[in-house]
Amino acid sequence: MESLEELGSPKEVWDYFYKITKIPRCSQNEDQIRNFIKTEAEKYDFSTEVDQAKNIVVRIRSDSNSSEKKLKIVLQSHMDMVCEKKGDSPHDFSKDSLKLKIIEINNEKWLTADGTSLGADNGVGIAYQLALMKKIYNSESNFSPLEFDLLFTASEERHPFGVTLMDKNLIDGDYLINLDGENEDVFIIGAAGGIICKSKVKINRISLDPDVVNLIPLKISIAGLIGGHSGMDINKGRANAIKLLTQILWKLNRDYDLYINSIEGGNAMNSIPRESQSIIFVNLQKYNNIIQDITEITEKFKKNFNDIEIDLTVNVDKLDNFKETSVFPENIKNTLLDLLYIYPSGPISFHPKDKDLIFTSTNLGIIKSTKDLIEIQFFHRSLSTYELEIIDEKISLLFRYFNSEWEVKQLDKLPCWTPDYNSNIVKTATKTYKDLFKKDIQIQAVHAGCECGEFKQYYPDLEMITIGPTIKDVHSPDERLKIDSVNTIWNFLIELIKNLTQN
């Protein structure tokens, strides 16, 4: 991208978004973006506060001495982003700026990043807040009598530690507008709860007999998958790289003598895994048969995911210089492959009243092996607290059924956000959108985690809504932001705030 002018309006929002893309902000590495927000706010004489969970709030208070009751609105986004990149990308998320580029799809312009995730989730929300702050400072708005808390939460993408551990006195408001939406013509008023889990088992590796010269090491790699958000994209038929790798290993283990040295896959529990790999040992005399079997399985993958996973690749490499001879013990290998093969990663059920809305799902997000440990991480979601508990119990039972030594632990539990279709903010937002754009807005609950669930727990009277521009393929290197939708939501946000003060 040669110039910010290519992005058009709103200039102040794009200016901030561009600056944000220059700042490293992977989950739990948010000091630089937090300092940027603090510096910007104090530059315009607004007070800030950082709590023990490292959330930051910018407080905008009215100078008016009027006794008239002041409406209080909380605008909220999260500071971190999911850092995903293509396998051949040299990008270093700890220090490199994102390389922005504009692409055109079906005569619509989109902003994306070269080889990496874009961080529009939730970088655009941050940009909206800072642009609004600057607009208020420059007296370019007539929101009075009105006060704002601009809340920027920490570590939403890994675990929502920021909002979970937030000082409950950090904000005060009548309404909360969450800026983490991903569709310009959809408002979110409810979201699934979730349970984030980690399972591990200790392994006592065995060493292969050096005299068994017929064994050769191979590296099997799955790559080129789309991936995506484990809630919003879980029903789109996309492949899970860990599950594909498991199918290959399970079938080879059934038909041949197979030894596993390592298995790895996925980068985040809330992303559908795009890549996976395993180093195995097989009999040299069976090598040609094994390659033929893998080729046949790969063709079945491509046929099954035709028109979806068009860049799917399965590579098998001989590791001539591989010196490591330790492998998983037989019982661990067999139970691991059986467990992964059966694990039901994907949608479990759909909403009883809305057949297009996923009700319950689970995502097999990460697997990794070390010298003495195998660890698996997964993420359950449901719009029902009861159903969430059931899927958690079933998956925990699955692990223990295969091997009682598997330890299953909940890392976090996210509450459901039950929709309120009759709240004032929903009614006002619906009317505002219709008046501005002469068409109806879609009101939805979504199968994805949202910090609003936590907010509702702590502030039961707080009316909330989630809005945002159109973003596709979040949590993946194909993430893209529809350029003109940024202006649509900006104009709507300004008008919504004005209308809330009149109701």
Neighbours of 463 (CB within 10 A): 20
Is the predicted pLDDT of residue 8 greater than 90, yes or no?
yes
Strand (E) or helix (H) holding 479: none
Distance of CA 161 to the CA centre of its chain: 14
Is the predicted pLDDT of residue 145 greater than 80, yes or no?
no
- CATH 3.30.70.360 domain residues, the chain: 194-414
Write down the pLDDT at residue 449: 76
Write down the pLDDT at residue 210: 62
Residue with tokens 């999260």: 78
Write down the pLDDT at residue 214: 87
Helix spans in 201-329 (H): 241-255, 287-304
Write down the pLDDT at residue 338: 96
Report pTM.
0.71
Is the predicted pLDDT of residue 405 greater than 90, yes or no?
no
Q: Closest Cα partner for 136 from 45, 262, 20?
A: 45
Mean pLDDT of 377-384: 93
pLDDT confidence tier of residue 211, bands split at 50, 70 and 90 = low
- CATH 3.40.630.10 domain residues, the chain: 4-191+417-500
Q: How many CA atoms lie within 13 A of 55 on its CB side?
A: 25
Is the predicted pLDDT of residue 143 greater than 90, yes or no?
no
pLDDT confidence tier of residue 142, bands split at 50, 70 and 90 = confident
Neighbours of 360 (CB within 10 A): 20
Q: Which CATH number fits domain 194-414: 3.30.70.580, 1.10.150.20, 3.30.360.10, 3.30.70.360?
A: 3.30.70.360
In tens, the pLDDT along 151-177 reads 999 999 876 789 989 999 999 999 999
Residue 103, amino acid: I
Mean pLDDT of 252-281: 95
Query: Lowest-confidence range among 42-56, 60-74, 101-115, 148-162?
Result: 60-74
Residue with tokens 């655009």: 124
Write down the pLDDT at residue 440: 96
pLDDT confidence tier of residue 56, bands split at 50, 70 and 90 = very high
In tens, the pLDDT along 96-126 reads 999 999 999 999 999 999 999 999 999 999 9
Q: Please give the CATH number for the structural domain made up of 4-191+417-500.
A: 3.40.630.10
